[in-house]
Amino acid sequence: MRTLVTLGSQHQGVMNVPGCRTLPLNSSHGACHLMQHLLGMGAYLPYIREHVVQAQYFKDPLRLPEYLAANPFLPDINNERGPEVRNPLYATNLASLERLVLYRFTDDETVVPRDSAWFSFFDGERLVPLREQALYDEDWIGLRTLDEQGRLIMDEIPGAHMQFSLQWFAENVIQKYLTKRPGSMNPDNLDPTARSS
């Protein structure tokens, strides 16, 4: 694979239920408060973790030790568990891409916080951008290497989560990043090693 394009992905997890992005952590606002409370209680329980895929992306900023201990997915792929178990192959593999393109939706209320699509995460007090994290500084998964070599691209998609036209996708993803010759939609020019998720 040469190019990886992600669209509104939860790279650093989610901390709240969809539609509750504008409320502060532990808000007392009705349904959002109740859902946040239930999610916080249940996301790290074995049964929920094993049967609800969304629990694999839940990252409670006030319970990071539980997140690291109970979540089998996100802490692993982000190499967050600590230097003694960190897998250097993750950084090597990601850094071998010609480019990594991270799209964030401008009005995303499904991925909370929306900046998770750019590897930012909420630490309980503020949104911590990628370049201010140990994940980046210590290059746990190869993001710093890609960035320093100009191969990490962070861009935005106007609108809500996964709401874009096929024309937008063709022009802004396929033509820009997944063809051998930018601007060409001829099937012979599509790069068969490129992937989008």
List, for residues 149-175, the tens digit of each pLDDT value.
999 999 999 999 999 999 999 999 999
pLDDT above 50: residue 23: no
> Predicted confidence band at 192 (pLDDT cuts at 50, 70, 90)?
low
Mean predicted lDDT score pLDDT of the chain: 86
pTM: 0.82
**Per-residue model confidence (pLDDT) at position 78:** 97
pLDDT digits over 76-90, tens only? 999 999 999 999 999
DSSP the chain: --EEEEES--TT-BSS-TT-TTSPTT---HHHHHHHHHHHHHTTSHHHHHH-GGGGGB--TT-HHHHHHH-SSHHHHTT-S-TTT--HHHHHHHHTSSEEEEEEETT-SSSSSGGGGGT-EE-SSSEE-GGGSHHHHTTSSSHHHHHHTT-EEEEEESSSTT---HHHHIIIIIHHHSBSSTT---GGGB-TT-EE-
CATH topology of domain 3-164: Rossmann fold (3.40.50)
Q: Poorest-confidence range of 28-42, 60-74, 123-137?
A: 28-42
**Per-residue model confidence (pLDDT) at position 29:** 60
> Predicted confidence band at 143 (pLDDT cuts at 50, 70, 90)?
very high
**Per-residue model confidence (pLDDT) at position 53:** 77
